[in-house]
Structures are given as structure tokens and as C-alpha cells.
Amino acid sequence: MSTAIFYHAGCPVCLGAEQMVADAIDRSKYQVEVVGLK
């Protein structure tokens, strides 16, 4: 299994994008790691 890392700064646009990526990615192939840059 590969890891998909999503970096964000915590702004509303980043949080929305994080949710879209989380919904779109195939979780049977990728482990999602979210990294907040704040």
C-alpha cells in the first residue's frame, strides 16, 4: 500500500480540497496522511 500525503495550511480552501481528495482517492490502494502546516 502506498501513502498519499496531503499538506495544508488550515485555510477553508485547503480544508475543502482535503475533503475532495479524501473522497476521491482509492483507500484500498492508498493510506492517506494529512499534514497541517500551521
**Average pLDDT of every residue of the chain:** 90
pLDDT tens-place string over residues 16-32: 888 898 899 999 999 99
Provide the number of structural domains found in the chain.
1
Quickly state the pLDDT bin for 10 (edges 50, 70, 90): confident
The enclosing domain of 20 has a CATH number of: 3.40.30.10
How many residues are recorded in the chain? Answer: 38
Domain limits for position 16: 2-36
Contacts of 33 (CB under 8 A, 6+ apart): 3, 4, 5, 6
Give the position of cell 483507500.
27
For the entire predicted model, the pTM comes to 0.66
Helices and strands, counts by H and E, the chain: 1, 2
In this structure, what DSSP letter does residue 14 have?
H
